[in-house]
Amino acid sequence: MNQMCVATYRSYDEKADFDKKALSIAVGLTVGSWTELPEARKAEMEKHLGKVLSVDVHEPACGERYADIRIAYPDINFSRDIPALLVTIFGKLSMDGKIKLIDLDVSEEFQSAFPGPKFGLEGVRQLLGVHDRPLLMSIFKSVVGHDLPNLQEQFYKQALGGVDLIKDDEILFENPLTPLEKRVEVCMEAARKAQQETGQKLLYAVNLTGPTSQLANQARKAIAAGANALLFNVLSYGYDVLHELSKDPEINVPIAAHPALAGAFYPSPHYGIGASVLLGKLMRLAGADLVLFPSPYGSVVMPKEENLAVKDALLAPSSTLRTSFPVPSAGIHPGLVPLILRDFGTDVVVNAGGGIHGHPMGTAAGGQAFRSAITAAMNGVPLREAAAQPGNEALQAAIDAWGSKE
């Protein structure tokens, strides 16, 4: 029996015969025509024909009429790479009216071509030696126009706050002030200095940029200079580029996938690709060890239902793929930590920029406030109660500045 990948679409139309539409998609995106083929030719082409698995029509009293359509596509029709898969299941169809790709399940045969995350959630924990709590990540803010001494000082202050990971801002590209190798050298020097004081290991995700043909080379240069993680703007380069980087044996550090450009794909109910596919299933398949995506709490909001679907896609059991660390981001401050742990559990990276750098007592105190909030939330202690305890002045200042939600 043919191996098949199954795509689920949500199609909106007030009058359409959705069964007929589903059949036209299944035929049109595979053999192109069916009814006009002679019977002998049909027998030959059968193995290439898309199959309609289900058509679930919804006609709400209020709102638009739509159908969820599931179609299976034979693996024999496309090569085992994500670009070929996406062009097959949603290439020209993405331009055919109000239709959105909301789910995707690849076959075992297709998935076998992808090793997935090289480290994954457990591997990142192993590198850091942290197994019993959420991780804490901070972000360089700001970066454009700063020189190496400024970045090194900013890095050091973040590291002193007890963060587990520090990442470049995604808009930090190769430039004369902070070239990649020099940036790695000075930041890792700051990491070592901070570790002497905190006793804590730290990963620095340096932004991997430049022409696509040079990315693997850039990654190797960064690693040779001491980089122990990479940040990558996956959607601007493509999933296949991430796949190539992740499976490269010389690129032996975790890769954090940034969601830049995702807003061009997932937010509309009528068009694009659902967040759980875009930022969940495909990121993990292509090899992201950590995946950043908008949180349901902060400044760049993704609806919670979609948000948790991304998390579920990254953490779903798999016999062949490691899980990827979910990193809900944007607008996170210490007062939100109980909500993050409630919705994501402890297998999550708490990621903050302004919530660390904007702390009233300074950057290091920002990290300390988050660590105190994580400890309190894991022990079931209300943040305001924890903040009143001696030694938690940083958490108190954060709550005074931003409040708390529990």
Question: What integer pLDDT is reported at residue 168 of this predicted model?
Answer: 86
Are 236 and 345 within one domain?
Answer: yes
The model scores a pTM over 0.75: yes
| Model confidence pLDDT, tens digit, residues 54-88 | 999 998 888 899 999 999 999 999 999 999 999 99
Is residue 113 pLDDT above 80, yes or no? Answer: yes
Is a pLDDT exceeding 70 seen at residue 49?
yes
Query: How many domains does one find in the chain?
Result: 2
Range of the domain at 20: 4-111
Distances (CA, A) of 107 to 52, 70, 73, 349: 16, 14, 10, 30
Task: Indicate the residue type of 251.
Answer: I
| pLDDT (tens digit per residue) in 311-342 | 999 999 999 999 999 999 988 999 999 999 99
Q: Pick from 82, 111, 140: which residue ends a domain?
A: 111
**Same domain, yes or no: 249 and 377:** yes
Looking at the predicted structure, is the pLDDT value of residue 299 above 70?
no
298 in the Ramachandran plot: left (φ > 0), alpha (ψ -120 to 50) or beta?
beta
- CATH number of residue 325's parent domain: 3.20.20.110
Q: Are residues 369 and 292 in the same domain?
A: yes
pLDDT of residue 331: 85
187 and 169 housed in the same domain:
yes
Is-catalytic flag, 92?
Answer: yes
d(CA 201, CA 129): 8
Answer for the pair 5, 109: CB distance below 8 angstroms, yes or no: no
**Domain end call among 56, 80, 111:** 111
Give the pLDDT band (50/70/90) at residue 296. confident
- Residue 172 has a pLDDT of 72
- Residue 44: which CATH number? 3.30.70.150
Question: Do residues 100 and 176 share a domain?
Answer: no
Q: Are residues 208 and 236 in the same domain?
A: yes
- Work out the average pLDDT over 362-369: 94
269 and 336 fall within a common domain: yes
15, 20, 51, 92: the catalytic one is 92
- The domain boundary, picked from 62, 89, 111, lies at 111
The H-or-E segment that residue 298 falls in is: none
Whether residue 143 is found in the same domain as residue 106: no
> Are the beta carbons of 111 and 321 closer than 8 angstroms?
yes
Cα gap 100→151, rounded to integer Å: 42
Pair 103, 173 in one domain: no
Are residues 319 and 204 part of one domain?
yes
- Spatial contact of 295 and 254, defined as CB atoms under 8 Å apart: no
What pLDDT does residue 146 have?
77
Q: How confident is the model at residue 236 (pLDDT cuts 50, 70, 90)?
A: very high
- 196 and 96 in a single domain? The answer is no
Do residues 148 and 287 both lie within one domain? Answer: yes
Per-residue pLDDT at 180: 86
